[in-house]
């Protein structure tokens, strides 16, 4: 009888412990669900902002490449920007007509899934150039008057002496966050400035 009572007590104790473990598990799962629901928008926004910043860095690097090539080859280069689109490229300005045609084809390829946004001349899906403002100088005006047109794209000029136009390029993602790339004409050096990230990342 004593042994039976001990066994019954052990079973009851085991069942009570099992019940407590199950409750604890359910509590942990509930907490995880709440934390995930709260954190998910913040994580998504942080990743979106990082992608936007990296895209701006790619444009900045392209400007550096244009400056180096203009100096090395002794002719005017341009970073061609597709306002409202995702295409950008570095090439001699004399190729502006070909660049315009290429931009249209590459944008179509991206829209139809035949191109990857990880390729050198395309921004990631969801990130666009929303503005490309450049200060027209005398050399830029001479180039445009000689060519008769700047083509379908917005060219940012880089000159053989290492200088460039002053320019501000603005990129925007689907969350309406923006970041700018500023180009200083006197030095031909670009930098990423004033990331207008939303509150999820805590940067204003």
Confidence (pTM): 0.72
Report the length, in residues, of the chain.
Answer: 204
Q: Which of 161 and 8 is assigned the larger pLDDT?
A: 161
Please give the full DSSP string across 92-132, using - where no structure is assigned: EGGGHHHHHHHHHHHHHHHHTTSS-TTSTTBPPTT-EEEEE
Question: Percentage of the chain with pLDDT > 90?
Answer: 44
* CA neighbor of 199 nearest in space, from 174, 182, 180, 176: 176
Q: Which of 147 and 181 is assigned the larger pLDDT?
A: 181
Contact between residue 93 and residue 76 where contact means Cβ atoms under 8 Å apart: yes
Domain boundaries, the chain: 53-201
Spatial distance between the Cα atoms of 58 and 171, rounded to a whole number of angstroms: 11
* Residue 165 confidence (pLDDT) above 90: yes
Q: Give 90-142 pLDDT, tens digit per residue.
A: 999 988 888 888 888 887 777 777 766 556 788 988 899 999 999 999 999 99
CATH class of this structure's domain 53-201 = alpha beta
* CA neighbor of 70 nearest in space, from 57, 79, 61: 79
């Amino acid at each position: 009888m004593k042994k039976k009572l001990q066994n019954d007590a052990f079973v009851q104790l085991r069942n009570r412990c099992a019940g407590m473990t199950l409750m604890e598990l359910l509590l942990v799962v509930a907490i995880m669900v709440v934390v995930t629901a709260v954190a998910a928008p913040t994580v998504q926004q942080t990743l979106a902002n990082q992608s936007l910043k990296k895209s701006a860095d790619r444009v900045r690097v392209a400007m550096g490449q244009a400056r180096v090539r203009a100096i090395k080859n002794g002719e005017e280069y341009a970073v061609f920007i597709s306002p409202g689109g995702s295409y950008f490229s570095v090439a001699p300005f004399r190729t502006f007509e070909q660049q315009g045609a290429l931009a249209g084809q590459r944008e179509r390829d991206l829209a139809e899934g035949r191109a990857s946004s990880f390729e050198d001349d395309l921004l990631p899906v969801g990130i666009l150039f929303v503005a490309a403002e450049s200060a027209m100088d005398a050399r830029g005006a001479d180039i445009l008057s000689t060519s008769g047109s700047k083509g379908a794209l917005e060219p940012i000029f880089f000159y053989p002496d290492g200088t460039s136009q002053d320019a501000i390029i603005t990129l925007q993602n689907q969350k309406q966050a923006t970041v700018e790339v500023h180009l200083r004409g006197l030095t031909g050096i670009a930098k990423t400035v004033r990331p207008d990230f939303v509150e999820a990342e805590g940067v204003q």
